[in-house]
Amino acid sequence: MACLLAALSSLNLYISEKLPEAEEIRDIQLQIPLKIFTADKKLIGEFGEKRRSALDFPDIPPYFVKAVLAAEDDDFFNHSGVSYSALIRSVFRLLISGEVQGGGSTITMQVAGNYLTGRDVNLFRKIKDIFLAYRLESIYTKEEIFEFYVNRIFLGNRAYGIASASEVYYGASIEDLNLAQWAMIAGLPKAPSSMNPLVNPRRALIRRNWILMRMLNLGYIYKEQYDLSIQAPVSASYHGLVSEVDALYVSETIRRFMINEYGLDAYIDGLAVYTTLDSTLQNNAVDALKNGLEDYDKRHGFRTPENFLSLFPEDFFIQNLELRLDLINSSNILPIGISEIPEEEPLESVYSLLNNLTTTDNQFPVIVISSDKELIVVSGDRTTHQLAWSTDLGWARPYINEDQRGLKPKSYADFIREGDLIWLERDKVTSSLSLTQIPDVQGSLVAMDPHTGGVKALVGGYDFFLSKFDRATQSSPLLGSNYKPFLYASALEAGFTAATLINDAPIVFEDKALEDKWRPRNASGRFYGPTRLREGLLQSRNLVSIRLLREVGIEKVRKYSENFGFSINSLPSDLSLALGTATLSPLKNASAYSVFANGGKSIEPYFISKIVDRFGEIIFEKKENEKKQVIDPRIAFIIKDILQEAAKRGTARKVSELERSDLAGKTGTTNEAESTWFTGFNDSLVVSVWVGFDQPKSLGNREFGSSTALPIWIDFMKPSLEGLPKNKSQLPDGLVSIKVDRKTGLRSESNSRNSLFEYFLEEYLPE
C-alpha cells in the first residue's frame, strides 16, 4: 500500500509540474474579430477569421444552460470536476479497444482541454485534464467555468461560442431563440463540422431530439414543451455577415487604417470602431448613386454583349431548344418561370464562366439560350429563366456611341443573340426578373458635417464587389466649373465685388502654356456682354471666369486656393484654371466647400470617432477638429448667397424642387463632359457628387453636371433633409447690403425693376 501511495504521489508531483496554471484562463484572450459601426451603432463591417462573441452567465438563457447540461454533463453543478462513472466507462473502452477514445469528459475537463492542455486524444492528456479540472474547480465558480466553455467552443461555420452560433445558424441573438433551436446548438459540440444542421440536417435533427428527450427525462422541461419542440422543423440556415448598412468603401478604408495602426492583431483583438457615418444618410447615398448611374446608363442604350456561342456543344441550340421550352412550360415550375437544367448537359464551361463572375446583391449574369419570342437564359446555378417581352424595354435601343442610339427594339431578337452574356435584375420586393446591364459609368458621393468634419455618408462607386477602387478618396478628377466659387472668392479678396462687371464676349488666346490658339465658349454657345460677377457665377459663364482669372492674376488665385485645401501642384498655372482644370478628390472637394458653409473655416474630414477594446474601454477618441479661419467670413457669406441663388434660377435650379431656401450649390462640367459634378450644401450638410468614367472619356455632348450629378444629389437630399434645420445665416460684421443697378452694378437710388440689393465688403462699396 505504501508503494502504491508513493507511486501516486510521484505521479501527482510529476503531472503537477507539467500542468499550466489554471489562472491563465483569465488571461487568455478570445480571438474576436474587428467590427466597424456607424455613429448610431449599426454594423457595417466585420474582419477576422473567427466569428466570436462572449456572454456572461446571467445573459445565457436558463433553458439553453439545461440543454447543454443534458447534452454534455448533467451533473456539472454537483461534481468536483470529474465524473467518476464516465471515467470508468472510458477506462473500460480503453481495455476493450486498446485505444484512448473521446468522451467521458466533464464540461470542466473540456475547458481544461480547450484552453490549456490541447485537443490531442491520448492517455497523458486525459490525465492532465483530470488534474487540471480539480484545480479549475478550486479557483473558479461553476458559472465562470460554464462561461469559459460556451464562449470558446467551436460550433461550425466559423462560429466560436454560442452567441456567434446563434447568429450564424438563426440570424438572431441567443435569447431570441426557442427551445428546439437551443437544443440544436447544444448538440453541435459533439461534431460541429459533420453534425450541424446545414451540412447534415438529418443527423442534426436526431441529435437535437435526443437532447430534448434527455431534458424531459432529467425533469428540465415539461411534456408539453417536449411535444411542441420535437415537432419543430429544422429552421437553421446560414446567416453570413449581414451588414445593417451598406458602407463597404468606408469599412475597407478603416480596415486598412486599423492594420497599419495595430497590425494583424486588429483582426483578433476584439476592437470596435465607431465611425461618424449616419446609417440613414449612408443608405440614402448608396441608393441615390446606384439609381443615378443606372439612369445615365439606360439613357445611352444597350451595349452589345460579349458572345460565348463557342462554349456550347455543337448543334446544342437545334437539339435542345425544344427540351428547354418543354421545361419552362411544364406545370411543375415556379410562376416566375424557373426550372432546372438537367445536370448531364455538357455545359460545364458555361456554368464555370457564370460562376466566376462577381454578382451584385440583386443582379446576376446569364447566358442567352433563345431570344426568338421570349428570352430564355441559363444562370450559373443550372437554372433556366424565361422573360416575356415588355414595353418597359424601350430603353434598350442599341448603343452606337455616347451621342447616338439605334432604333427602338420591338423584341429581344432585335438586340440579343444566342450565346450572349447578359445581366438580369431581381426586384427586391416582388422577386420578378428584368433585363438590365452593369453601367460602365462610375461615380461617388460624399456627405459631411461642415462644422466638425465628420463624414456622414460616403460611396466610392457603383458596387464595391465589382470594383473596390474608391473614387471618393482615391481619385482626383478635374473639377470643371465646380472650381469657380474658389476663383470668385479669390476675386472678392482682391477687391472685386459681386456687382463688378466683366465682359462676356468672344475671345481668342495665344497662350504659350496651352501651345495653341484657344477659343473658349459658354456651354450655351451664346455671349451675354457686360455681366455682374454674381450673374457670372450663378450662370457659370466661362468667358467671365476666364477674364476674371486674368484680371485677378493666376498666381494670386492659385495661392488663395490653398486656403480651401488645394495643393499648389494640382492647380495649373494657365488660364484653363478658370474652367476647372484643377483636380481634387470628392472627399476633399466636400471639405473645400465646407469653408463656404461654416463661415470661412478650414475643416479636416474624418471617419473614426472612437475605438473601443474588447472590455469596452476607449483606446482612441477623436478630439474636436481644429478650426482655422482661412478666408474672410464675409466672403464666405457672399459666395454662399450667390450659390443659393444659383439653386433657384442658375445652373443648379433643379434644386428648387426640394422647396428649401437654405440650399446652395454649384454644377461642374469639364471639357467634352469627361467629368461632371454637383456640390451642394446648407449650414448642416455638404454633399459632393461626381460622375464620369474611370478611364476619362466623354459622357456625351448632351450631358452636364446638371443632368448627371445633380439628379443624384437631389435623390439623396430628398429623404436626408428631414430633420435638418432651415438655418438662416447671420450677416457678418463689416458686410453691407446696398441697392445697385442690374446693368451697371453701380449704386442705385431708384426702386425700379432695374435695381436690386447686393452685398459688399464695407471697404469696397460701389460708387
Give 455's contacts (C-beta < 8 A, 6+ positions apart). Answer: 250, 275, 276, 277, 446, 447, 448, 587, 605, 606, 607
| Alpha carbons 433 and 436: distance in angstroms, whole number | 9
| Alpha carbons 475 and 472: distance in angstroms, whole number | 7
Which phi and psi angles does 763 have, rounded to 5°? -85, -5
- The confidence score (pLDDT) of residue 343 equals 44
What string of DSSP letters covers 168-207? HHHSS-GGG--HHHHHHHHTGGGSTTTSSTTT-HHHHHHH
Residue 8 has pLDDT above 60, yes or no: no
- The reply to whether domains 43-230 and 482-562 share a CATH topology is no
What radius of gyration, in Å, describes the C-alpha atoms of the chain?
Answer: 35
Residue 327 has pLDDT above 50, yes or no: no
Q: Grid coordinates in use for 279? A: 446609417
How many Cβ atoms are within 10 Å of 429's Cβ, its own excluded? 6
Average confidence (pLDDT) over 610-614: 93
CATH T-level fold of 303-436: OB fold (Dihydrolipoamide Acetyltransferase, E2P) (2.40.50)
- Domain regions of the chain by residue span: 43-230, 303-436, 482-562, 735-764
Q: Would you call 46 a catalytic residue per the annotation?
A: no
Q: pLDDT tens digit string along 112-137?
A: 777 654 444 445 456 677 778 788 88
Q: pLDDT tens digit string along 656-710?
A: 999 999 999 999 999 899 999 999 999 999 999 999 999 999 999 999 999 999 9
User: Of 14-28, 104-118, 267-281, 324-338, which gets the smallest average pLDDT?
Assistant: 324-338
Residue 754 has pLDDT above 60, yes or no: yes
Q: Would you call 481 a catalytic residue per the annotation?
A: yes
Output the pTM of the full model. Answer: 0.80
Residue 743 has pLDDT above 80, yes or no: yes
| Alpha carbons 266 and 647: distance in angstroms, whole number | 46
- The confidence score (pLDDT) of residue 88 equals 55
- Position 633, amino acid: P
| Alpha carbons 36 and 539: distance in angstroms, whole number | 43
Residue of 90, 105, 166, 481 marked active site: 481
Residue 162 has pLDDT above 50, yes or no: yes
Residue of 53, 72, 370, 707 marked active site: 72
How many Cβ atoms are within 10 Å of 119's Cβ, its own excluded? 10
Which has the higher per-residue pLDDT, 643 or 94?
643
Average confidence (pLDDT) over 57-71: 94
Average pLDDT, the chain: 85
**8 A C-beta contact, residue 640 and residue 664:** yes
Question: pLDDT exceeding 90 applies to what percent of the chain?
Answer: 56
Q: pLDDT tens digit string along 427-461?
A: 888 889 999 999 999 999 999 999 999 999 999 99
The CATH homologous superfamily for domain 43-230 is Biosynthetic peptidoglycan transglycosylase-like (1.10.3810.10)
Give 453's contacts (C-beta < 8 A, 6+ positions apart). Answer: 591, 594, 603, 604, 605, 606, 625
- The confidence score (pLDDT) of residue 100 equals 42
482-562 is classed CATH 3.40.50.10300? no
Q: Which of 153, 98, 109 is nearest to 135 (CA)?
A: 109
